[in-house]
Amino acid sequence: MHKKNIDTAMVLAAGFGKRLRPITDKMPKPLVKVGGRTMLDRALDVLADGAISKAVVNVHYLGDQIVAHCKTRQDIDCTISDESDAILETGGGTVRALPLLGDAPFALLNADTFWIDQGEPTLQRMIKTFDESKMDILLLLCRVEDATGHTGGHDFTMASDGRLARAKNSDGAGYIYAGAAIYNPAIFDGDRKEAHSLNVYFDQAIAKNRLFGIILENGHWITVGTPQGLADAEAKLRELN
């Protein structure tokens, strides 16, 4: 098994959070508090607990607030990838940040979803599982019953060896993509820097049999999309605590 140390992560924090308005009219979504803690801090907490020493945080909408907030973190080195000129979506934002991320595999988290571990830290499990000799991307997945706020269908099905395929939602089988992954940066070599989705790379990895998954165990995943979703998340956190 060929492994490199993973000590850097990308945090996607540039979105508009339109569905969470009016809360996000004057505040970027990653700085909305859930259970008394901002979603961005919850993401950075996961990284710090997973022995990640550097986070690259991309910013666009109300980015100055996120830049200022990152300066308050003393336990992790936060570097800003500035997209104030034009938002690049998840794929373009990651490509722009590559010079800051380095040439070793890196973790990636959405700043508007998070999970509560009730056992071994999930990110540490992901890092131990990632094997770049056979994986381009390792995705964190969760079961529908372990999620709060998810309104869509299933995203992926998993084979016995961990390989993933797109779910056919009509059959009711599969898992949700939980907004966290580990990437081999080589898959982005020479790729475009305009706005595009990371879904492009998921499909490319599937075509090569190099997209793998790991399931959230002993934990609960939360996504906050709307004001009602925020209320549901608060209620779930009270239940878990």
Give the CA radius of gyration of the chain. Answer: 17
3 within some domain: no
213 within some domain: yes
64 within some domain: yes
* pLDDT over threshold 50, residue 2: no
Question: For residue 36, which of 240, 237, 222, 220 has the smallest C-alpha distance?
Answer: 237
The pLDDT of 196-224, averaged and rounded, is 94
193: helix, strand or coil: coil
Per-residue model confidence (pLDDT) at position 85: 87
For tokens 């209320």, the residue is 231
**Number of structural domains found in the chain:** 1
- 149-173 as b/e: b if 16+ CB within 10 A: bbeeebbbbbeeebbbeebeeeeee
111 within some domain: yes
232 within some domain: yes
1 within some domain: no
130 within some domain: yes
User: Tens digit of pLDDT for each residue in 64-109?
Assistant: 899 999 999 988 999 999 988 888 999 999 999 999 998 899 999 9
Sequence-distant (≥ 6) Cβ neighbours of residue 89 within 8 angstroms:
195, 196, 197
At 184, the pLDDT band (50, 70, 90 cuts) reads very high
User: What's the length of the chain?
Assistant: 241
Pairing outcome for strands 211-215 and 137-142: parallel
What's the CATH code of the domain at 147? 3.90.550.10
What is the span of the domain harbouring residue 213? 8-240
pTM of the model: 0.92
22 within some domain: yes
Sequence-distant (≥ 6) Cβ neighbours of residue 139 within 8 angstroms:
156, 164, 177, 178, 180, 181, 202, 211, 212, 213, 214
Per-residue model confidence (pLDDT) at position 204: 94
- 24-33 as b/e: b if 16+ CB within 10 A: beebbbbbbe
Per-residue model confidence (pLDDT) at position 173: 75
